[in-house]
């Protein structure tokens, strides 16, 4: 947790310069604090620490210098008051709902959300009689009609996975505000470098640190940042139940954030080139990328994002079978489910990440059977394009 906002420097600088206090060794790069607990001066120090009269580390389930450094950086990037770090993106999502909702509460969410978040809403939260209703991303006006006296939260991701639709954050902020609801945004696809939902009225922002934040496919992590009063409740839940981020992973993540801006710039530059290449290709039915002029929400993307992100969605002509031939012909790109990695990755959402959805649910989430998702990496653009081009010839 933290409560310090540094708006006097650019966030990119904070992502590099925020650092845990130097030890007596005067190290330049932050050490790895692999310790489960911390020691006290005397009985009074220990009593005061447990009474939370002093702000200090007690036990790494509660806090750790590496996790705190990671949290402070993400808060600076998102313009948030405070945050809690988690072992994975899903533990951040679950802990946020578990900490803030009561039995019987209701969530209104965008239909296009991460597969495991959908499974949480439909399979786990109903244990506590917490219900949900989905709105289509192209029908934000329908949100009003879904809100009941039990609704507490509006939840969305933008751009969406895997169809890269873009939701208007300003509109969502206004709707949440009008009804006195919390607006919680999963900002994982954009990263805080491209988009800061708090500026548009989000109360909390959640990330899977596993994706662009680490950016090299090494560790799992999650984080929730936002309003101090809400973060305090999430922190208390986490400190008791223990989904804490490991210091090692926090150290990796904090180092990764130093290069977030330059990495994401290159991801976006490469992704736009891939999208433009696919748009002109005779074997492709459609391409979706937020910063292509043909994207249905291009104007909204331009308003709220610095660039289009790393994910491009497209459909190979010839449906499922052509899609399979395309996958089998790929030589360099990885067939994998991750995204935001330095290595380019191709995925077939209908048979993998979104196979748990019914065909109707997939249709409503904008996922066609032949849709391919590419997370465009940092390899030389010519090599990425060459691999996609040769695979399309065989599709
Ligand atoms: C990956 C992902 C998650 C879950 O994060 P994990 O770190 O895998 O638990 C949540 N939301 C979105 C949008 C994601 O892409």
- Mutation choice for ligand 1 from 114, 119, 253, CB with most ligand atoms inside 8 A: 114
Distance, CA 217 to ligand 1 centroid (Å)?
13
Domain final residue pick, 257, 284, 305: 257
The verdict on the CB of residue 158 being under 6 Å from ligand 1 is no
Beta bridge pairs of residue 303:
none
CATH assignment of the domain containing 326: 3.90.1150.10
Residue 69: what pLDDT?
98
> 230 and 266 share a domain?
no
Residue 154: inside a domain, yes or no? yes
> 122 and 162 share a domain?
yes
Token pair in block for residue 363: 């249709």
> 356 and 339 share a domain?
yes
The Cα–Cα gap between 339 and 211 comes to 6
Q: Vertex 365, ends 176 and 274: CA angle to 5°?
A: 105
The verdict on the CB of residue 189 being under 6 Å from ligand 1 is yes
CA dihedral sign of residues 100, 104, 107, 108: negative
Give the structural domain span for 229. Answer: 11-257
Residue 91: what pLDDT?
98
Residue 5: inside a domain, yes or no? no
Region 69-89: mean pLDDT is 98
3-state helix, strand, coil in the chain (%, to 5): 40, 15, 45
- Is 238 a residue whose pLDDT tops 60? yes
> 277 and 244 share a domain?
no
DSSP 173-228: HHHHHHHT-EEEEE-TTT-TTT--GGGGT-SEEEEETTTTTT-SS----EEEEE-H
Q: How confident is the model at residue 4 (pLDDT cuts 50, 70, 90)?
A: low
Distance, CA 387 to ligand 1 centroid (Å)?
27
Q: What is the pTM assigned to this prediction?
A: 0.95
> 210 and 280 share a domain?
no
Please write the tens of the pLDDT for every residue from 22-36: 999 999 999 999 999
Q: How many domains does the chain divide into? A: 2
Token pair in block for residue 65: 């210098």
Domain final residue pick, 210, 237, 257: 257
Domain final residue pick, 206, 229, 257: 257
Residue 276: inside a domain, yes or no? yes
Residue 7: what pLDDT?
53
Residue 361: what pLDDT?
81
């Amino acid at each position: 947790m933290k409560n310090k906002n540094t708006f006097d420097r650019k966030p990119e600088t904070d992502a590099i310069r925020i650092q845990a206090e130097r030890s007596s060794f005067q190290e330049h790069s932050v050490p790895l604090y692999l310790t489960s607990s911390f020691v006290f001066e005397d009985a009074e120090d220990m009593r005061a620490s447990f009474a939370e009269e002093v702000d200090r580390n007690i036990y790494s389930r509660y806090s750790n210098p590496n996790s705190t450094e990671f949290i402070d950086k993400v808060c600076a990037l998102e313009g948030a008051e405070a945050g809690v770090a988690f072992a994975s993106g899903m533990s951040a999502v679950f802990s946020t709902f578990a900490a803030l909702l009561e039995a019987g509460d209701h969530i209104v969410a965008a239909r296009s959300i991460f597969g495991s978040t959908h499974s949480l809403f439909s399979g786990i939260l109903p244990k506590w009689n917490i219900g949900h209703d989905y709105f289509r991303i192209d029908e934000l006006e329908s949100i009003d009609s879904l809100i009941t006296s039990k609704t507490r939260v509006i939840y969305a991701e933008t751009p969406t996975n895997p169809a890269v639709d873009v939701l208007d954050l300003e509109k969502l902020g206004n709707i949440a505000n009008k009804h006195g609801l919390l607006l919680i945004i999963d900002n994982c696809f954009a990263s805080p470098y491209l988009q800061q939902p708090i500026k548009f009225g989000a109360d909390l922002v959640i990330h899977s640190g596993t994706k662009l934040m680490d950016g090299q496919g090494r560790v799992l992590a999650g984080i929730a940042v936002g309003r101090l009063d809400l973060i305090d409740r999430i922190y208390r839940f986490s400190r008791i139940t223990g989904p804490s981020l490991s210091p090692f992973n926090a150290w990796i993540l904090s180092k990764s954030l130093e290069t977030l801006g330059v990495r994401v710039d290159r991801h976006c530059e490469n992704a736009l080139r891939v999208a433009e290449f696919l748009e002109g290709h005779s074997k492709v039915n459609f391409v979706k990328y937020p910063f292509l002029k043909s994207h249905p929400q291009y104007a909204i993307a331009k308003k709220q994002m610095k660039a289009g992100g790393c994910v491009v969605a497209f459909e190979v002509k010839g449906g499922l079978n052509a899609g399979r031939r395309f996958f089998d012909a790929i030589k360099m790109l990885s067939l994998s489910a991750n995204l935001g990695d330095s290595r380019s990755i191709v995925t077939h959402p209908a048979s993998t990440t979104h196979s748990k959805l019914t065909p109707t649910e997939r249709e409503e989430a904008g996922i066609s059977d032949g849709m391919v998702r590419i997370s465009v990496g940092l390899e030389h653009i010519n090599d990425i394009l060459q691999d996609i081009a040769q695979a399309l010839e065989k599709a």
